[in-house]
């Protein structure tokens, strides 16, 4: 769906894909996210003390954690948020238990086109894939094919094969052993039925599942890392969110609440939306081709020209937003008195999920997952940045691949006993 340039093909695919993301399906997936978040909390608790989560934990002393100058344990939480996002999408879509969080390792099964089975590192597979393919995406189709032949033995090519083999494993296993309880994959017409005698061909299922494994994990881990970075950088905002969550949620729903409960906490949504404004996860200019001569912002663009606008240039425009570089969730609250004249600008110009017929189809799923994870992390721990990495003007280092990926997030997490 995401790859097709034909409008009618896209619309057709989008119609059957939209069943997957209905409110009913998303609600049904909540327990799978909540279960993973319980494990995330246990893993973070172990890491906050410098301990391994298991013998297989790949984030030991030096690589994954160390002491800061005050003797506190600091650790890089980014891979843990990424392992959560992989575990969660695998559970929701293919009923697959990756179990990365309890193993402290992102080694997951892959099935090669030769039929061989092995394990690959999920994070390196996807990040190596996007790091390799995105520069090639600027080439014409002919040059792209030539470049892929020239670089077929390069590490990037190997990563592309690894990621494809992860998807092949998930789809093959899921078709061979369907789960007892429906998952998101259950909405894909795989076998002929009376209503749909011609099911979706396997190649197409593989393509859509590739998008799901990519879109469902990387934007989510990027958003989680950014939100936690902002909350750690703005301790008063973090405290305020924690207080609001404590008073909004009954004790038995803390720290892992339901999305239904969290939807009634506007400040949590404001935190997520402000984090999207400050650091949109998909920040490269999404390309669109003009079908006829068009005037945009006073410029006449002929037909057949590829145009795009990187989101963060809009999100940080001083003509639209006061103090655009600052993380101020209050600006999103209609009843707060901060920058009330700019509310319509937030609505009109902040679009982390894009707009129109190709806007993100997983938006509601993403808000569900992000809300549950961020609320739980803030209720359970007090977060502060490791200044030696993120202090002063250093901020958070971003690697531009397909998404604007935070490289690492070094934090101290203090377990809260309430």
Assess 365 for contact with ligand HEM (CB under 6 A): yes
96-155 binders of ligand HEM (CB under 6 A): none
Helix (H, G, I), strand (E, B) or coil at 60: coil
The length of the chain is 418
Distance of alpha carbon 413 from the chain centroid: 22
Please give the residue whose beta carbon sits closest to ligand HEM in the complex: 362
Name 111's bridge partners: 117
Per CB under 6 A, 1 contacts ligand HEM: yes
Q: Which two tokens stand for residue 169?
A: 């494993």
Kindly state whether residue 286 participates in binding ligand HEM, applying the rule CB under 6 A.
Answer: yes
Q: Which two tokens stand for residue 65?
A: 């954690």
- Six token digits for residue 133: 């393919």
Cα 198 to the center of its chain, rounded Å: 33
Residue holding tokens 């502060």? Answer: 384
Residue 17 or residue 378: which is nearer to ligand HEM going by CB?
17
Give the number of residues in contact with ligand HEM, rule: CB under 6 A.
23
Shortest Å, Cβ 65 to ligand HEM: 27
User: Cβ 114 to ligand HEM, closest distance in Å?
Assistant: 29
| Crossing angle of the two packed helices 363-380 and 235-248, in degrees rounded to 10 | 100
For residues 362 and 365, what is the distance between their CA atoms, to the nearest angstrom?
A: 5
Quick one: 117 or 289, whose CB is closer to ligand HEM? 289
- Least CB distance to ligand HEM at residue 2 (A): 4
List of residues 6+ apart from 49 with CB closer than 8 A: 73
| Number of Cβ within a 10 Å radius of residue 322 | 13
281 near ligand HEM (CB under 6 A): yes
**What is the nearest approach in angstroms of ligand HEM to the Cβ of residue 15?**
11
Position 366 contacts ligand HEM (CB under 6 A): yes
Phi and psi at residue 38, to the nearest 5°: -55, -45
Position 2 contacts ligand HEM (CB under 6 A): yes
Residue 358 touches ligand HEM, criterion: CB under 6 A: yes
How many H-runs (helices) and E-runs (strands) does the chain carry? Answer: 15, 12
DSSP conformational letter for 21: G
> How much of the chain is helix, strand and coil, in % rounded to 5?
55, 10, 35
**Choice between 74 and 227, CB closer to ligand HEM:** 227
**Closer residue to ligand HEM (CB): 1 or 346:** 1
Selected binder of ligand HEM within 353, 381, 383, 410 (CB under 6 A):
353
CB 82 within 8 A of CB 123: yes
- Give the residue with the Cβ less far from ligand HEM, 207 or 265: 207
Binding mask 194-233 for ligand HEM (x = CB under 6 A): -----------------xx--xx--xx--x----------
Q: Taking the complex as a whole, how short is the minimal distance between the CB of residue 14 and ligand HEM, in angstroms? A: 5
The alpha carbon dihedral of 378, 379, 384, 386 has a sign of negative
**By CB under 6 A, residue 372 contacts ligand HEM:** no
Alpha-carbon span 356 to 176, nearest angstrom: 36
Whether 174 contacts 185, CB under 8 Å: yes
Q: Does 350 bind ligand HEM (CB under 6 A)?
A: no
368 binds ligand HEM (CB under 6 A): no
- Residue nearer to ligand HEM on the CB measure, 50 or 189: 189
Q: Smallest gap, in angstroms, from Cβ of residue 359 to ligand HEM?
A: 5
Nearer to ligand HEM, 73 or 123 (CB): 123
In the window 66-85, what residues touch ligand HEM (CB under 6 A)? none
Residues that bind ligand HEM (CB under 6 A): 1-2, 14, 211-212, 215-216, 219-220, 223, 281-282, 286, 352-354, 358-362, 365-366
């Amino acid at each position: 769906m995401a790859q097709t340039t034909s409008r009618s093909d896209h619309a057709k695919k989008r119609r059957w894909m939209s069943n997957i993301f209905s409110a009913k399906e998303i609600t049904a997936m909540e327990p799978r996210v909540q279960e993973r978040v319980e494990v995330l909390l246990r893993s973070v608790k172990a890491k906050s003390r410098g301990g391994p989560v298991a013998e297989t934990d790949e984030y030991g002393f030096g690589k994954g954690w160390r002491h800061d100058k005050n003797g506190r344990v600091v650790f890089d939480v980014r891979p843990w948020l990424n392992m959560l996002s992989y575990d969660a999408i695998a559970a929701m879509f293919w009923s697959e238990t990756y179990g990365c969080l309890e193993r402290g390792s992102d080694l997951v099964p892959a099935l090669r086109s030769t039929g061989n089975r092995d394990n690959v590192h999920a994070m390196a597979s996807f990040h190596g894939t996007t790091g390799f393919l995105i520069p090639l995406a600027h080439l014409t189709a002919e040059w792209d094919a030539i470049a892929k032949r020239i670089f077929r033995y390069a590490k990037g090519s190997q990563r592309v094969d690894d990621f494809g083999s992860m998807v092949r494993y998930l789809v093959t296993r899921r078709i061979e052993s369907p789960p007892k309880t429906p998952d998101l994959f259950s909405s894909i017409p795989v076998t002929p039925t009376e209503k749909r005698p011609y099911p979706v061909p396997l190649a197409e299922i593989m393509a859509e599942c590739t998008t799901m494994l990519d879109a469902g994990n990387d934007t989510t881990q990027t958003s989680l890392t950014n939100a936690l970075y902002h909350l750690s950088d703005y301790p008063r905002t973090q405290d305020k969110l924690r207080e609001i969550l404590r008073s909004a949620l009954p004790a038995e729903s803390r720290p892992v609440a339901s999305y239904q409960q969290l939807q009634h906490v506007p400040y949590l949504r404001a935190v997520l939306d402000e984090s999207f404004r400050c650091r949109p996860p998909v920040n490269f200019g999404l390309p669109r081709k003009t079908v006829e001569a068009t005037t945009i912002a006073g410029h006449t663009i002929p037909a057949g020209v590829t145009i795009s606008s990187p989101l963060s240039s809009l999100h940080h425009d001083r003509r639209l937003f006061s103090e655009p570089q600052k993380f101020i969730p209050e600006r999103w609250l209609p009843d707060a008195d901060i920058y009330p004249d700019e509310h319509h600008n937030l609505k009109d110009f902040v679009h982390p999920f894009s707009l129109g017929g190709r806007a993100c189809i997983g938006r509601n799923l993403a808000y569900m997952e992000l809300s549950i994870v961020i609320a739980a992390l803030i209720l359970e721990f007090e977060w502060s940045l490791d200044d030696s990495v993120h202090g002063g003007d250093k901020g958070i280092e971003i690697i531009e691949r397909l998404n604007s990926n935070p490289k690492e997030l070094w934090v101290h997490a203090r377990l809260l006993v309430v």
